[in-house]
Structure 1
């Protein structure tokens, strides 16, 4: 059973109002076969260098969501088909990229959820620069490692502090 972001928002308006639940600005395109995904967040902060993205996705994902702040760069891709395949093999729930993806036809054939700003054919540089498990800020939200992330075709919702959200029963 999927947790729909609309239902989560409806059931948690008080938490949205006080900042315990965040909703990312609707900037992201959907890639991959998995339209809905959720899990605890692991963060990366990189710029036009996907070395740390590969390193993270080589590790067991255990249902986590990799949130990559690529500085919003639209000059190259931080994720491609090979890395999406690696993410699926290592059981990552999904990947959110504040930047671009490439090989999107290949990614769309993989059972993984991906959100990125756009597609771009140029690969990233390999300098080994960036930071892992640090706060990242983009799309109007501050996301921390351990926050809980919910993604579907309506949007991206973050529960601050790792508190899992549950849809409340509908009023009759």
Structure 2
């Protein structure tokens, strides 16, 4: 399915939630979608790595990084893991780094911004819980669709 969030919103208006326009697209895929997997971390990307090392099965990893602008949670090495393990995309409520390299990879990546500093590695965080940012609740197992117009979320798969 070609993803066009505007058309999906029009056809499914009562079934979607729209993320506030706060994230920028950095990945090589500008349109992507899939079932949601969630993480909640703060300036520590250990769980991000272990999650992206697992089979993605065309899912989208949504990372609630607490909106931190003090370090990056995803860089080119983690983006390569996402590509190699079949993740459709990564949405980060926080920063990424290595944006030039990530822009050439076959994965969708949205984030608040970029930051050159790497994160700490303590292994602190939570997996598969509902996370909230940008006016949207992201539930594990729900569906996310993203393109140049924004990000939308629904409880079940969408069609036109």
Q: TM-score range by the shorter chain?
A: over 0.9
Q: Which of 74, 91, 116 is the matching residue for 2:111?
A: 116
Q: Which of 125, 136, 140 is the matching residue for 1:130?
A: 125
- Corresponding residue number in structure 2 for 1:142: 137
Q: Which of 77, 84, 91 is the matching residue for 1:89?
A: 84
- Corresponding residue number in structure 2 for 1:10: 10
Runs (4+) off by over 6 Å: none
Count of residues in correspondence between the two structures = 160
Which structure is larger by alpha-carbon Rg, 1 or 2? 1
RMSD (Å), alpha carbons: 0.7
- Corresponding residue number in structure 2 for 1:165: 158
Deviation per residue, 1:109-137 (Å, 9 max, x gap): 11110000000000000010000000101
- The DSSP-based 3-state class of the residue aligned with 1:7 is helix
TM-score by length of 2: 0.98
Alpha-carbon separation, structure 2, partners of 1:126 and 1:135: 23
- The DSSP-based 3-state class of the residue aligned with 1:95 is strand
- The DSSP-based 3-state class of the residue aligned with 1:87 is helix
Residue correspondence of structure 1 range 69-80 to structure 2 within 5 A: 69-80=64-75
- The DSSP-based 3-state class of the residue aligned with 1:9 is helix
Unaligned ranges ≥5, structure 2: none
Unaligned ranges ≥5, structure 1: 16-20, 168-172
Per-residue deviation, 1:157 = 0.5
Per-residue deviation, 1:12 = 1.5
